[in-house]
Amino acid sequence: MLNQRLKDFVVSRLLPQVQMPAQYMGGELNIVRKDHRQVKGKLCLAFPDAYTIGMSHHGLQVLYSLMNERDDWVCERAFCPWPDMEDQLRRAEAPLYSLETFTPLAEFDVLGFTLQYEISFANVLTMLDLAGIPLRSADRTLRHPLIIAGGPCAQNPEPLAPFVDLFVTGDGEPSLPAVCELWRKGKAQTEGEMRRRGDAESTEAREELLAEMARQLPFAYVPRFYEPRYGDDGRMVALDRTRDDVSATIEPSIIDDLDAIPLPTAPVLPYVECVHDRIAIEIMRGCPWQCRFCQSTVIKRPLRIRSVETIVQAALAAYRNTGQTEISLLSLSSSDYPHFEQLVRRMQETFQPLGVKICLPSLRVNEQLKSVATLMSMFGDLSGLTLAPEVARDDMREQIRKKITNDDLYEGCRQAFHLGWRQVKLYFLCGLPGERPADLDGIIEMAETISRIGKQETGSYVKVTASVSNFVPKAHTPYQWNGMQTREYLHWAHGYLKSKRRLRSVWIKCHDVETSLLEGVLSRGDRRVAEALELAWRRGARLDSWREHFQPQRWWQALADCGIDLEATAHRAYALDARLPWDHLNVKKGRAYLEKEQNRAVVQLAAMAEAV
């Protein structure tokens, strides 16, 4: 049911005043538009970043397709507008709306945010405010949508706790429909009586319905029923329940059979260029490896795969429904897919005659790399090889538990160059526990060695880009007890790396230090960080993942004004027996496993220091 009046106003009055107006118009190929009068529930998936980022996110397409397969629900989309569009909406006092039907977000039953990176947290507040929905959960009534959030950044929900009604942990495919349906039924049972009593604006009715959801859904965390307690040193020491009928801990939602979950075979096709303009097919969820720095390998356990035939048929259907000529096979480590060679050959047989290119964005550096390069050369995509060695020294690799060797990497690159590849991109981490100058030297040595191997195989130095990210110890990893490196150290390390480069064919790209520090605060902070988040947002924080909009001093001042110590939040280490702000969320193997791995890492760090 299209809100024609709002659409006409937006198209005629607002869109001529903004850049890239097509991102606010909807109407794309494969959208689903239903008559709201014919469904029982209305869900809007809200991605807290720009359209060009959100439409590149595979998870949004999965959930959009999943919910719209239901006859009784409609699922639509909304994204965070750029500042020019935000200004136009505010000037016109017009609400933020869904792209399918121009329905104001406040008119949906459920508004679901996906939290892919912490730097987008302020955008959640922007979207709520533009929708006319109270920022804080405590101020909402049954007339307002249920505000839910999930995704990797929900693994520490506390910095967003006052603003979100309910966090979903684990896999979204089984949990999202369960949340939506329980809310719809509970709301329907309550609304009539509330209206008869004349107190439809009561916040108590909403609270009771949320309590019922917390009781029935083991993967649902409702922050209002938990109160942090702090010690004399300012650290959180407990999370007390305010009701006895909710669980002390939250269990993740887990899909047992990934192959039984349908892939989106008619994804929405954007009319504007996005970050990833290609078909995405998830071939495997989880990772067979157990790298200590990686949050995804912990929170996405257990390992689950799709069959080769499921993948090929879904990719073929998506190609027919979109016409896109590039397909990305997604997983944390695509070359670790158990039937990898069979899959690549089947994809080659199916798609090479159609002129469709296949890409693998996540390759494992192991003895298989040589055969991967050979297999991928079948598709003629020789533009660049992307690898993630993370570190360049064997003893540091042992410490982070990434079991690869330099020999495998070099031989894989040699084979790739022999086949015609001409560029390599390497991903490294800077600031890991126990990092030494020798580890930084190793990054340069590895990049320059690969470029020289390229010269041996091709006659000229091959371009190698070393992309260096600043390590942030994330929740639910063995490194969660470690502090993040300081601003001063990270700047020194970046300068050191650039000073060591000798070959012009090698490029060093370092991630912005201030952005990483903010990520550290938002990913490791407790509920008090929410006050600084709201203050920074009220002072103008918008789209902070975009360099042209990020103003770090605004955040540092907001933290200081709220009495939050950057040193204590991002840099200070925790004792192994300390209460962590996210301990109430359980993961597959539990905290005991993480403690064991942290203890092993400490022993290895001591051995590294002694060897030096």
Q: How far apart are CA 299 and CA 416, in angstroms?
A: 33
Instruction: State the pLDDT at residue 359.
Output: 83
**Angle made by CA atoms 434, 440, 444, in degrees to the nearest 5:** 155
In a domain? residue 554? no
Same domain assignment for residues 92 and 225: yes
In this predicted structure, the answer to whether residue 149 has a pLDDT above a threshold of 80 is yes
The overall average pLDDT reported for the chain is 93
Q: Are residues 92 and 232 in the same domain?
A: yes
Give the residue ranges of DSSP H helices in 236-388: 296-299, 308-322, 340-351, 369-377
pLDDT higher at 78 or 360: 78
**What is the predicted pLDDT for the residue at 26?**
96
- Strand (E) or helix (H) holding 75: strand 73-79
Give the 3-state secondary structure of residue 292. Answer: coil
Q: Which residues pair with 79 in a beta bridge?
A: 47
Tokens of 7: 């659409």
Identify the pLDDT of residue 402: 87
Residues 225 and 356 in one domain: no
253 lies in some domain? no
Cβ pair 486, 506 in contact under 8 A:
no
Give the three-class secondary structure for 6: helix
Q: Are 233 and 290 part of one and the same domain?
A: no
Same domain, 390 and 325: no
Asked whether residue 61 falls in the same domain as residue 198, the answer is yes
In 3D, which of 250, 187, 183, 254 has the Cα closest to residue 222?
250
In the chain, how many domains are there?
A: 3
In the chain, the amino acid numbered 607 is: A
The answer to whether residues 350 and 400 belong to one domain is no
pTM: 0.95
pLDDT at 223: 98
**Degrees, nearest 5: CA angle 581-583-588:** 140
Q: Domain ends where: 193, 213, 241?
A: 241
Return the biggest CA–CA distance within the chain: 83
Q: In this model, does residue 533 exceed pLDDT 90?
A: yes
Question: pLDDT (tens digit, 9 = 90+) per residue, 291-318?
Answer: 999 999 999 999 999 999 999 999 999 9
Whose tokens are 């894989």? That residue is 412
- b/e burial code for range 78-98 (CB count within 10 A of at least 16 → b): bbbbbeebbebbeeeebbbbb
Between the alpha carbon of residue 391 and those of residues 197, 334, 373, 432, the distances in Å are 64, 20, 21, 9
CA separation for the pair 566, 563 (Å, rounded): 10
Residues 442, 330: one domain? Answer: no
Report the pLDDT value the prediction gives residue 377, as an integer from 0 to 100.
Answer: 62
Q: Same domain, yes or no, for 311 and 206?
A: no
Is the residue at 191 inside a domain? yes
Residue 227 placed within a domain:
yes
CATH number for the domain harbouring residue 416: 3.30.750.200
| Domain CATH number, residue 331 | 3.30.750.210
Does one domain contain both 233 and 291? no
Distances (CA, A) of 476 to 30, 205, 241, 473, 590: 37, 34, 22, 9, 9
Instruction: Please indicate, yes or no, whether residues 329 and 399 belong to a single structural domain of this protein.
Output: no
Q: How confident is the model at residue 201 (pLDDT cuts 50, 70, 90)?
A: low
Q: Residue 392 domain-assigned?
A: yes
399-409 average pLDDT score: 87
- Is residue 93 domain-resident? yes
Q: What's the pLDDT band for 366 if we cut at 50, 70, 90?
A: low
**Residue where a domain stops, chosen among 362, 396, 422:** 362
The domain of 357 spans: 278-362
The single-letter code of the amino acid at 124 is V
- Tell me the backbone φ, ψ of residue 520, rounded to 5 degrees: -60, -40
Residues 130 and 9 in one domain: yes
- Under DSSP, the state recorded for 17 is G
Mean pLDDT over 484-490 rounds to: 97
Q: What is the pLDDT of residues 431-460, one digit of tens each?
A: 999 999 999 999 999 999 999 999 999 999
The answer to whether residue 415 is domain-embedded is yes
180: in domain: yes
Q: For residue 588, what pLDDT is reported?
A: 80
Assess contact for 276 and 328: CB atoms under 8 A: yes
**Arithmetic mean of pLDDT, 462-486:** 97
Determine whether 589 is exposed, middle or buried from the number of CB atoms within 10 Å of its CB (0-12, 13-18, 19+): middle
Q: Is the pLDDT of residue 416 over 60?
A: yes
Residue 387: the pLDDT is 87
What is the CATH classification number for the domain harbouring 55?
3.40.50.280
Angle, alpha carbons 598-601-605 (nearest 5°): 140
Instruction: Determine the Cα–Cα distance for residues 344 and 378; give it in Å rounded to an integer.
Output: 9
Whether the pLDDT of residue 363 is over 90: the answer is: no
